[in-house]
Amino acid sequence: MFRDGRTASAFSVLVLGLLASWAALAAAQPERNPLGNGLPADPSRFRPGEVDASAVTHVETFAAYPVAWLGEEFAGFKLTKMFRADANGQDAVYLIYGECVPRPGAQEPSCVPPLEIVTNAPGTVPGPEDQRLVNAGELASVRGAAARALSGSPFIWTETVTITIHANAPLVEEVLANLRSANHEELRFDQVSPGDSLREFAR
């Protein structure tokens, strides 16, 4: 994953600030997911799911702006869904990994999936030092890009898009290390692989 031990060590140091802020916020309130109804993410309800071939095709050929992903499968969870939310000032691509089995008797949506990677379109998220940001953790750096926790979820600001991660704490550092470009062939920019800089993502 890393070219040498020094690179791995440097990466670990870079993410400490972000992870500490994320963990502090997560301790104050359960991890939440915009697809659910605010219930905590319960690992006992997680399932691997099945790869949605159409989701893979759609993300790899998405042409509006660069998208980050973790491949067709990550940490045992399959890419089960891809959709674009484009309304009311929001424009983002959501990638859902794995599935969640609802609690008996619960009404949908009642279950937080194991992992979401959200790529926000350029210009739709305030900058990392913007005073309008609420519930913001300390500013940090991840793979060369500005990063901080907002309301308990890590945000990474590249020079093009802003990437959001929704996952339980044990998975976050692994996700940060493995983010990569999904649609570089479609948009004809240099491929971003795990461990590469995210600051100039798709520039």
pLDDT digits (tens, 9 = 90+) for 68-97: 999 999 999 999 999 999 988 899 999 999
Encode pLDDT of 30-53 as tens digits: 333 333 333 357 888 899 999 999
Asked whether residue 141 is domain-assigned, the answer is yes
- CB-based contact 1:194 (threshold 8 Å): yes
Residue 27 lies inside a defined structural domain of this protein:
yes
Per the CB < 8 A criterion, the answer to whether 71 and 180 are in contact is: yes
Q: What is the largest CA-CA distance in the chain?
A: 51
pLDDT computed for residue 203 by the predictor: 79
Q: Which residue has the higher pLDDT, 188 or 7?
A: 188
Report yes or no on 194 lying in a domain: no
For the chain, what is the mean pLDDT? 82
What confidence score (pLDDT) does residue 101 get?
87
Listed range (34-38, 172-176, 181-185) with the worst mean pLDDT: 34-38
User: φ, ψ for residue 147 (rounded to 5)?
Assistant: -150, 150
Amino acid type, 117:
I
Looking at the structure of the chain, the number of domains it has is 1
| Domain annotation covers residue 88 | yes
Inside any domain, residue 116: yes
Residue 37 confidence (pLDDT):
32
Predicted confidence (pLDDT) at residue 161 exceeds the cutoff of 90: yes
Token representation of residue 80: 């089960």
Domain, as residue range, for 17: 5-187
Split at pLDDT 50, 70, 90, the class of 189 is very high
**pLDDT value, residue 7:** 45
Asked whether residue 200 is assigned to any structural domain, the reply reads no
In a domain, 178, yes or no: yes
Q: Is residue 195 part of a domain?
A: no
